[in-house]
Structures are given as C-alpha cells and as structure tokens.
Amino acid sequence: MKKLGLNHVAIAVKDLPSALAFYEGQLGLRCDHRERVEDQAVDAAIFGTGQGRIELICPFTPDSGVAKFLEKRGEGLHHICIDVPDLEQALAELKAGGLPLIDEKPRVGAGGSRIAFVHPKGGHGVLIELRQAD
C-alpha cells in the first residue's frame, strides 16, 4: 500500500473552549476551521489547512465513541489519520493481512472526506484513520 503521509492527528478534549484557549491563546496556533461531524458526534476545531493538521474533537452527545473514550482514558491522542491513494484498495489489503478494521467500507468524515478506521489493536495501540487522498 502506497501511503501519502500524515493528514492529521486528532486529540479528544472534554471542553472545546478551554482547549481552544490553550491551543490559540497559549500555543499561538490559529484555528482555521470549525465543524460539527455528525457521523462521529463531535465538534471539531481544526488547526492548519493541508497535511499535518491538528484536530481537537469534543463530543456533543454523552453516548458517542469519543465520549466513551474520554470517560475511559481521559483527554489525549484519539487517532492519527493517514492519506492513502485508494481507500478501498487499502482496506482490502489490510483485511487480507488480517488487521482488525472498524470500518470495512468508507464513511464520511470531516470536510466530507471519505475515511475508514482501523482498530487500535491493529495500529499498535493507536486508532488509525485512513483517508482517501484528494
């Protein structure tokens, strides 16, 4: 599988305004985009516009996957996202290699991009998001 590199890292936070105060106010980063991602039940604040973005994700319902993550593990790195040239092919190759996939078929992520998640068990402890490259 040919990889195109890191698209973003996503950090789960409990309180978006307070996390923004740190990332913008203290680290001096600029939030370029805010978005509600219905599929994952999170509000996202995105720093940067190209590859290598940072996304703060904050659940807007108490029963979402990210809310459960925060309850269990607290704030911190939630996933990393890798751009791939052909998402279906990447999923097929990983499945053939025996990796546990959360999504066998692409779904819609932030910005309308096509994405799929690989289980942390297959990602050496880190949830991996694969994203169809632009």
7 vs 96 by CB, closer to Co ion: 7
Two tokens, residue 50: 């190209």
Q: How far is the CB of 120 from Co ion (least distance, A)?
A: 14
83 vs 129 by CB, closer to Co ion: 129
25 phi, psi to nearest 5 deg: -70, -45
What is the binding site for Co ion (CB under 5 A)?
10, 81, 129
Residues 6+ away with beta carbon under 8 Å from 124: none
Q: How far is the CB of 10 from Co ion (least distance, A)?
A: 4
12 vs 26 by CB, closer to Co ion: 12
Q: How far is the CB of 8 from Co ion (least distance, A)?
A: 6
23 vs 28 by CB, closer to Co ion: 23
Q: How far is the CB of 129 from Co ion (least distance, A)?
A: 5
Q: Tokens 């694969």 correspond to what residue? A: 130
